[in-house]
Structure 1
Amino acid sequence: MDCVVCPWLYGTLSGDLLDIVMRRGDSSVTARATWLAIESQFLGNREARALILDTKLRTLVQGDLSVVDYCKRLKTTADDLADLGEPVTNRSLVLNLIRGLNERFSSIGCHLRRGHPFPSFLEACDELALEELTMGNSPTQSTTLVAGTGGGPSSRPSAPTSQQPSGRTGSASGVKKGRSSSTSKGGRGNRGKGGRNGGKTCVAKGGSSKIGASASGFSAQASSG
């Protein structure tokens, strides 16, 4: 009988687990010994594995997952806990399901929490799947996207036409001021030069008058002599 049951048990195992459980070359291995070896691999460190799975169940959130994938992960974790001797009640599973929903399903989550009688896990999954389907067929999101991205006449930036003439006028006025200032400076320079030339002319006239006076005195002395 062992030669029939042992190959059947080996055929249900994966390759890695088969290498651990199977005793090659030992013909005295019974079906019970094989079963106990398999059980120890699945149920070994039961308390530690149950603690890890329980933490995973209570911290699981939906995020970007769809409703179907999110419910599937919760149900798989609860089934793994049940296999370890730690079954999860229906109420606890639904409460964890509602807790991990994202903001899109906040309204349906409030409805499920206040339901009387409290819904089962399958009923809650059906309600969430129907809500997700309704959101997907609603045209509100597409209309909002078009309204937010559509550009109207008011949203176009005005051309800076009014600023260009002011800049040109300012530059023209600056050129005019520069010319006027240069003209005024040139006028002052001419006056200064003219004043100096006038002084030189006066000096020249004074010198010629002195020479004329000395010449007339010399001629008067010559005639008296």
Structure 2
Amino acid sequence: MDAWVLLRDIFQDHQTSRAVTLKQEFTTTRMEDFPNASVYCQRLKSLADQLKNVGALVTNSRLVLQLVSGLNEAYKGVGTQIRHAKSLLPFTEARSSLVLEERELAAMVSHGSGSAMVASVDDTPLPSDKHKLTPREPKKFPRPKFGNWP
């Protein structure tokens, strides 16, 4: 029995310092440090679960707000939508919105890069300068005469 009491006391002594470390990591987690939205969300959820295990519960609201505050520029639009929803979404729904946005951005990039490749591959020389139009003086037309008007 004494071994269990000793282990419990050691765990409780380290619990506070572990909670401080986890809170710091939780609040400084940013999407740009991860390869994609899913991994970013998994890390936030894992940190929230670890905080719960040391007695520092992270509410759904806090988890969703941290998810939004850590987004990079490309995802600010979806972050704004999540923040301004009538009621704050559950974390799973916020995560789904973020992953969907990531897919749409990837599709836009892949379509855009295909167009850019076509444009950059076309190196056809332009017609020589002698075929360019040169500005001319405006043609002067005679003024119509009406009655006694000059």
TM over 0.5: yes
Q: Matches of 1:147 and 1:34 in 2, distance apart? A: 71
User: CA-atom RMSD, angstroms?
Assistant: 2.4
Structure 2 residue 105 is matched with structure 1 residue 135: yes
Which structure has more helix as a fraction of its residues? 1
Question: How many positions carry a matched residue from both structures?
Answer: 125
Aligned to 2:5: 36
Q: Which has the higher Rg, Structure 1 or Structure 2?
A: 1
1:35 counterpart letter in structure 2:
W
Q: 1:98 to 1:147 in 2, by over 3 A?
A: farther
Q: Matches of 2:58 and 2:107 in 1, distance apart? A: 35
Q: 1:84 to 1:141 in 2, by over 3 A?
A: same
Cα displacement string for residues 27-79 of structure 1 (whole angstroms, at most 9, x for unaligned residues)? xxxxx334334434543322221111111111100114211110111011111
Q: Matches of 2:61 and 2:104 in 1, distance apart? A: 26
Kindly state the Cα deviation for residue 154 of structure 1 after the two structures are TM-superposed: 5.8
Aligned to 1:71: 41
Kindly state the Cα deviation for residue 120 of structure 1 after the two structures are TM-superposed: 1.1
TM-score under structure 2 normalisation? 0.71
Q: 1:127 to 1:52 in 2, by over 3 A?
A: same
What is the identity percentage for the equivalent residue pairs of Structure 1 and Structure 2?
A: 30
Q: Matches of 1:141 and 1:40 in 2, distance apart? A: 59
TM-score under structure 1 normalisation? 0.49
**Larger RCO (CA under 8 A, 6+ residues apart):** 2
Q: Matches of 1:147 and 1:48 in 2, distance apart? A: 57
Q: Matches of 2:11 and 2:99 in 1, distance apart? A: 34
